[in-house]
Chains A and B, each alone.
Chain A
Amino acid sequence: MDLLTFVRGPGMQWAAAIFVVGILWRLVGILLLRGKKDLSEPRKPGWRGLRLLALRSWPRKEFLGGTAFGEIMGYTFHIGFFVALLFYLPHILFFEDVAKGLIGVNFKQVFGVGWPYLPGGAVYFFSAISVAALFAVLIHRIASPVKRMLSNFDDYFSWFVTIAPIATGMLAFSHFGGPYPTLLGLHLASVELLMIWFPFGKLMHAFTIFLARGTQGVTFERKGASL
């Protein structure tokens, strides 16, 4: 069995299963934890604290000097990454196939229009931006003594499994560095590595970030803290 056959078959099956088990394990494990009972009188209605979701997603003036680089690069990476992930036709075909298999309908049946996609060249451009931002944050992390000290294996490995699918996807798209089937096989293998690592490292923030911010916002608001 060659690489491409493996990653399109058993590799993908195992990665998908581990991804789903891991994500639900972590989420259910967190959601079923017993929280501390708050016996105090609420100062404000807690639900209003959900605005922290938006507030924490935007730089605060007071800290701008120290956080601007990370925030700009963070947004640059995420925008580039999600454009490549969600608006490249082969990716859409994959997601639609999964959706069809799980819920029996595709995007067009639900929304009346097909899932829009961009030409490959445009996706390549966004991927390149994303890779550049990832390298910038890595250099920043290594160059900063404090960040370097705070960093562990999880940070570097999560960086690697994030950049690998984008970089190999760009290579496959441009047919650069080897035969296309090999490059496509490497791309899918790197995606599967990402899926397997995802629930168990810091990449899990994709699922927990809004949960954490929402919980924190409600708690703060209830206590009357200024958001």
Chain B
Amino acid sequence: MTTLGDTLSASGVSRRAFLKFCTALTSLMALPPSMAPAVAQALAKAKRPSVIWLSFQECTGCVESLTRTNSPTLENLILDLVSLDYIETLQAASGFAAEEARQHAMKESNGQYLLLVDGSIPVADGGIYGTLAGESFVDMLQESAKGAAAVVAIGSCASFGGLPKANPNPTGARSVSDIVKDKPVINVPGCPPIAVVMTGVLAHYLTFGKIPELDAQRRPLAFYGETIHDRCYRRPFYDQGKFAKTFDDEGARSGWCLYELGCKGPITHNACATVKWNAGTSFPIQSGHGCLGCSEPDFWDNGSFYKALATADWGGAKAIGTAAAVGVAVGAAAAYAARKRQNRVSKEG
């Protein structure tokens, strides 16, 4: 098996460019800068692992994000340099040939390959809402996960169920970790995830030969350890109490905090504010829109994107009106009982 170093040299990637990438990667993975040479050495010697990428209930946004990374970048090359043996969206093969490639990779690299999954898995009604090559998604996932070294759930759908799981979830959509219980599962949520975060997680696995440190949601701490709000360049305005009231007022034009406009940055763990998108160009808040919280579980069902985080679902006028009517009725009944007791006492007295 050829190493990454061999293939990079053959592809014309200079040593300088490779080291630059490793330094950035070291920083991204929250490792001390002194680790950069060690990361470069480990990556250069890393063997190209076999990767099987399964796409289930998804919109292809995750693959789009991965492939539109200002191509060609070194991140792309790194991904090219894993042995990507099965990915429906990008592979040339189709039909039986494609399925054969997957079976072959699973057999050849049994216990060694990485399984990447984007999209949620429908389980309602025996999983009939998602089938591929005559096999349900849930069966295909279980079969493919059996021989995997680890499973990486790419995007919020694979990580948490995402949009397909949104109420009323007619297909019974589930996350990868709901189905795969006996393998290490790494969640890389986002709708879509940042390309460099996806490649960073793979690079971490290649460098250290093990999965990165994860948070309670199985997200790599290096990328999801802090909230958007923690690292947002608009944070000083939040602390000063300067908030944009509309998307086009003076505050918005002055770059003030978007909290009032529904920004979910304070409760959203992701690297958008530091890594940014499109080769570090910008991220949603920098472009003038609040964070949607897309890397958090059930973000689609957690209230309006345009209502401030401080608001909550308190029940609405109808529920409060009903509660008020019940309160008045109970109070009146209590007073009636008290009056009856008064009457009885005064009669007895």
A91–B309 Cα distance when bound, in Å, is: 10
Cβ contacts under 8 Å, A12 to chain B: 312-315
A120, B243: Cα distance in complex, Å: 12
Q: For B330, what are the chain A residues with a Cβ–Cβ distance below 8 Å? A: 21, 24-25, 28-29
| Pairwise interchain contact B312-A17, C-beta atoms closer than 8 A | no
CB distance from A190 to the nearest CB of B (A): 14
Determine if B310 and A94 form an interchain contact, defined as CB atoms under 8 angstroms apart. Answer: yes
- Asked if B310 and A101 make an inter-chain contact with CB atoms under 8 angstroms apart, the answer reads no
Asked if B307 is at the interface (CB within 8 A of a chain A CB), the reply is yes
Interface residues of A in 1-43 (CB under 8 A from B): 1-2, 4-5, 7-9, 12-13, 16-18, 20-34
Chain A residues near B336 (CB, 8 Å)?
Answer: 32
Flag if A102 contacts B332 (CB, 8 Å): no
A93 within 8 A of B: yes
Residues of B within 8 A of A8 (CB): 302-303, 312-313
Interface residues as binary, B311-322 with A (CB distance below 8 Å gives 1, 0 otherwise): 111111101101
Kindly specify which of A53-61, A180-188, A214-222 makes contact with the partner chain. A180-188
Per the bound structure, the CA–CA distance linking A102 and B314 in Å amounts to: 11
Contact yes or no, A13 B313, CB < 8 A: yes
- Within 8 Å by CB of B327, from A2, A23, A89, lies A23
- Chain B residues near A71: list those with CB within 8 A: none
Is A224 an interface position by the 8 A CB rule? no
A180–B314 touching, CB < 8 Å? no
Q: How far is the CA of A119 from the CA of B303 in the complex (A)?
A: 26
Q: Which single residue of chain A is at the shortest CB-CB distance from B334?
A: A29
Q: Which residues of B contact A28 (CB under 8 A)?
A: 327-328, 330-332, 334-335
- Asked if B241 CB lies within 8 Å of chain A CBs, one says yes
Instruction: Indicate whether B297 reaches chain A with its CB closer than 8 angstroms.
Output: yes
A9 to nearest B CB, angstroms? 5
B255 at the interface (CB under 8 A from A): no
Taken together as a complex, chains A and B put the C-alpha atoms of A2 and B298 apart, in Å, by: 10
Q: State the interface size on chain A (CB cutoff 8 A).
A: 48
B13 within 8 A of A: no
Q: Is the CB of B316 within 8 A of A21?
A: no
Chain B residues with Cβ below 8 Å from A33 are: 335, 338-339
Choose one: B267, B308, B324, B326; the contact of A93 (CB below 8 Å): B308
Considering the complex, give the chain A residue whose CB is closest to the CB of B313: A9
The distance in angstroms between the C-alpha atoms of A89 and B317, with both chains bound, is: 23
Interface majority SS (helix, strand, loop, mixed), chain A: helix
Q: B282 contacts the other chain (Cβ, under 8 Å)?
A: no
B240 interface residue per 8 A CB criterion: yes
Q: Is the CB of B314 within 8 A of A90?
A: no
Chain A 89-107 residues near chain B, CB threshold 8 A: 89-91, 93-94, 97-98, 101-102
Chain A residues whose CB sits within 8 angstroms of the CB of B319 once the complex forms: 13, 16-17
Interface flag for A148 (CB, 8 Å): no
Residues of A within 8 A of B (CB): 1-2, 4-5, 7-9, 12-13, 16-18, 20-34, 89-91, 93-94, 97-98, 101-102, 114, 117-121, 175, 179-181, 184, 188
Interface residues of chain B, those whose CB is within 8 Å of chain A, are 227, 229-230, 238-241, 243, 245, 259-260, 266-267, 269, 297-298, 302-303, 307-317, 319-320, 322-324, 326-328, 330-332, 334-336, 338-339, 342
Q: A9-B313, A21-B327, A102-B320 are in contact. List 4 more A-B contacts (CB 8 A).
A: A12-B312, A29-B338, A89-B260, A101-B314
Q: What are 17 sample pairs from A and B whose C-beta atoms fall under 8 A apart?
A: A4-B267, A5-B302, A12-B313, A12-B315, A21-B324, A24-B328, A31-B331, A31-B335, A33-B335, A90-B259, A93-B260, A93-B308, A97-B307, A97-B308, A119-B240, A120-B238, A181-B267
